[in-house]
Amino acid sequence: MIKRTLLLSLLLASGSLQAQDQAADNNVARPIIDTVCLACHMGDGNSLVSEQPKLAGQNAEYLYKQMRDFASATRVNPIMNGMIAMLPDDESLKAAAEFYAAQKLDPAASRNDDKNSDAFKMGEKLWRAGVASKGLPACASCHGAAGKGMPAQYPALAGQFPEYIELQLKTFRDETRTNDPSKMMRDIALKMTDKEIQAVSDYAAGLR
């Protein structure tokens, strides 16, 4: 009985410490979210307009890398470069990334959910299999079958605004965005037509 009581006490203490750690993280992140991020990305990371991506549920490592890239101007966006400059230190970047990663995504709607349409079938093929004849790999090979991504390098795309995904692919294609490791996304997007980019963007956005 004593052992069970001791174990219970340890578990409760552990839970309390974890809650304190989370509260401490929120104490760091919340002022940053409220003063810097909220206007565009909302307090829970569920942006309402496609010009500003949804951040809720995104991989924390990926968000942190993007903020570091904005801070160093490795990734160029006049608004984001200026906003990130307002954050005081690296701890603030990590806290904001972890905060948004912990939020629940309210997924955006796809522009095309007609599974019988040629555009949907094109997007599905690009996502699942790629196009070998063009040297296009399957998007799922890096972003995951369900579009959940992989930490740091490959973002989650499921439920993201399709317009935002489309824009990023086009900026990789014309090399106005260049912060992809080893030019991976630039090399892929360069081989894609506008129709392919739109189709796969719609398909990715509709994944759940």
User: Mind listing the pLDDT tens digit for each residue in 69-95?
Assistant: 999 999 999 999 999 988 879 999 999
DSSP states of 105-126 as a string? P-PPPPS---TTSHHHHHHHHH
CB neighbours (10 Å) of residue 36?
Answer: 17
Which residues touch 79 (CB under 8 Å, ≥6 apart)?
A: 40
In the chain, the domains with their CATH numbers are 2-101 (1.10.760.10), 118-206 (1.10.760.10)
User: Mind listing the pLDDT tens digit for each residue in 99-144?
Assistant: 999 999 999 999 999 999 999 999 999 999 999 999 999 999 999 9
Which residues are registered as beta bridge partners of 150? 154
DSSP 138: P
**What DSSP element (H or E) covers 55?**
none
Distance CA 10, CA 25 (A): 22
